Amino acid sequence: MKHYQAVVVGGGIVGAGIFRDLSLHGINTLLIDKNDFSSQTSQKSSKMLHGGIRYLENMDFKLVFEALHEKNIWLKMTPHLTREVPLHLPVYKDSKRPLWMIHVGLFIYDLLSKFKNSPFKIKNAHETLESIPQLKAIDLRGSGVYFDGIMDDAKITLEVIYDGLFEKNAEAKSYMELLDVNISEGLNILKVRDITNNTIEQISCDQIIYALGPHTDAFLKKIAVYRWQNVLLPSKGSHLWIASRDLPIKFPIVITTKDNRVIFVIPHEDFVLVGTTEVEMDGDFDNVIASESEINYLLQAIQDYFPTLNLDRSHIISTFAGIRPLIKEDGADRGKTSREHKIFQPLEQTYVIAGGKYTTFRIMGVEITKEICHKHGIAYNEDLSLNPLRQKSIVLPFNWKLPTQEELITICKKEFPTTFQDLVQRRLSISNRRMWQLRAPETNFDQYFSANLLELSKYIKMTADDIKSFL
């Protein structure tokens, strides 16, 4: 039976961060996920590295301070995957927050960043329309402009995992499902199944860390030894991708809906991301999709702010939805629930981390990794996780290009996709064929992948049928 000092269950951004930190400290660590890494919540965010300006209203100053600090760290560490952008917050005659209040809020936001953000600005109506001429002009008073980061969320998760794998003591296995856990002589005994070949084995570890995001409650309740009680308030958030030619804005915009929700409208080269919603979630957490009502809600929001563009369902390139793993708080609704994380220990050598937000992933797990290092007689050094990531993705978000056939093979060799969908969606950043047609109009999708099918299938699980059936 193979033994590890630590096993991390959950290959999203939080699990990836803990895996890397433990590996950098020389802890013999295994990361497992029953799906492709970064295929769930961590690729279904609003693609923002941000302090969370809306959390100022909830007085979550500590969270905003922490998130702004981390945002600026990752903007410096991963400039190929992140970018600072000016977000415009339009203010109208009937807006809930007048321009002076926006001014105060943006000053506090920059103050909490220790003025490491690019400085905010206040624009009048004329200046705002010069920047965003498509915006509704009637009763516009002006806008606040502040700076946050946008990112490729899936690729940051993957590059964090790649970096951990540079350490000789580190392993990562996708399509590895944890079936059960028992305790024997102080060790965790894990029963795991390799989904690719349906084989079952046992492994052991000193410490086990669960970073399961919204799956935390459902999974841990299956493991009898934990006697787990629910801690989450799952919240679903849906997004739309619209072609930039149909929503031709140069700058991200923060709009407020009639029910006072915040919606981000963010250009990403060829596409504009619109989101997010916030609704109760139940049902299948593995296959979350945007509902008709959520799609209509987001469309109505952008129609209200861009009435002359006549946007409708035909302009939607694709949709996606994810689940925020909020921690339950007595009397708090989803909109006001804190994004702070919590760590639970159902057993002495077991850690469960839940809640939090993408931007703060690096420091969310520090308490866990520090304690595990000390248990193994290793001095913890937080600066190690500030070292640059050592492997860049071949396909990058802000200068997208179709990889050559040679580069495609290199991606399969070095970026470890496991399935055809994993290759196309997370390594090539193509969600469906319609997005492909807009990004690579000169290249036939089927011919491109079929040209090297035999070579590609040496590295990933794929057939001609996978190519034909892709979305």
Taking only the tens place, the pLDDT of each residue in 394-438 is 999 998 999 999 999 999 999 999 999 999 999 999 999 999 999
pLDDT band at 280 (very low <50, low <70, confident <90, very high): confident
Tell me 138's DSSP state: T
3 state SS of 200: strand
Beta strands in 159-305 (DSSP E): 170-174, 176-184, 187-194, 199-210, 232-243, 253-256, 262-268, 271-275, 279-280
Domain residue limits, the chain: 2-42+154-231+336-386, 81-149+233-328, 405-469
Please determine, for residue 219, whether its predicted confidence score (pLDDT) is greater than 80.
Answer: yes
**C-alpha 275 chain-centroid distance:** 14
Overall average pLDDT of the 38-56 stretch:
92
Per-residue confidence (pLDDT) for residue 333, from 0 to 100: 54
The DSSP letter of residue 175 is S
CA–CA separation, 96 and 62 (whole Å): 25
Q: Under DSSP, is residue 356 helix (H, G, I), strand (E, B) or coil? A: coil
Give the pair of three-digit tokens for residue 394: 């071949």
Model pLDDT for residues 437-447, shown as the tens digit of each residue: 999 999 999 99
Tell me the one-letter amino acid at 351: Y
Closest by CA to 49, choosing from 190, 150, 162, is: 150
What tokens does 124 get?
């009048």
How far does CA 205 lie from the centroid of its chain?
A: 28
d(CA 329, CA 286): 25
Q: Report the alpha-carbon angle 24-25-28, nearest 5.
A: 90
Would you identify the CATH topology of the domain 2-42+154-231+336-386? FAD/NAD(P)-binding domain (3.50.50)
Strands (E), 328-417: 341-344, 350-355
- Residue 173's CB is within 10 A of a number of other CB atoms, namely 15
Closest C-alpha to 3, from 208, 207, 204: 204
pLDDT at 312 over 60: yes
Q: How far apart are CA 62 and CA 190, in angstroms?
A: 37
| Per-residue pLDDT tens over the stretch 222-257 | 999 999 999 999 899 999 999 999 999 999 999 998
- Among residues 321, 276, 324, 315, which one has the least CA distance to residue 297? 276
CA distance 447 to 386: 42
List, in sequence order, every residue forming a beta bridge with 325; answer none if it has no partner: 234
Per-residue pLDDT reduced to its tens digit, 197-211: 999 999 999 999 999
Residues whose CB is less than 8 angstroms from the CB of residue 396 and which lie 6 or more positions away in sequence, other chains included: 80, 81, 152, 155
Query: What does the alpha-carbon distance between residue 135 and residue 131 come to, in Å, rounded to a whole number?
Result: 9
Q: Note the Cα 3 to chain centre separation in Å.
A: 31
Cβ proximity of 173 and 19 under 8 Å: no
Report whether 188 contacts 350 (CB < 8 A). Answer: yes
pLDDT at 336: 57
Fold of the domain built from segment(s) 81-149+233-328: D-Amino Acid Oxidase; Chain A, domain 2 (3.30.9)
Report pLDDT digits (tens) over 314-342: 999 999 999 988 998 765 555 556 678 99
> Which pair of tokens denotes residue 32?
């497992």
Q: Fold match between 2-42+154-231+336-386 and 81-149+233-328?
A: no
Q: What is the 8-class DSSP label of residue 299?
A: H
| Neighbour tally for 185: CB within 10 Å | 6
pTM: 0.95
- Phi, then psi, of 307 in degrees rounded to 5: -65, -25
DSSP 79: T
Q: Distances in Å between the alpha carbon of 193 and those of 174, 176, 196?
A: 11, 6, 9
The phi-psi region of residue 186 (left if phi > 0; otherwise alpha if psi is between -120 and 50; otherwise beta) is: left
Burial 102-126 (b: 16+ CB within 10 A, else e): bbebbeebbebbeeebeebebbebe
**Per-residue pLDDT, 335:** 55
Which H or E element spans position 68? helix 61-77
Mark 362-398 as b/e (b = at least 16 C-beta within 10 Å): bbbbeebbbebbeeeebeeeeeebeeebeeebbbebe
256 φ, ψ (degrees, to nearest 5):
-115, 125
- Angle, helices 99-112/61-77, rounded to nearest 10 degrees: 70
Residue 338: count of CB within 10 angstroms of its CB: 19
Give the span between the Cα atoms of 229 and 208, in whole angstroms: 18
- Per-chain mean pLDDT for the chain: 94
Q: Which of 8-22, 38-52, 80-94, 147-161 has the lowest mean pLDDT?
A: 38-52
Question: CA-CA distance, 415 to 396, in Å (whole number)?
Answer: 13
Q: Which element (helix H / strand E) includes 371?
A: helix 366-375
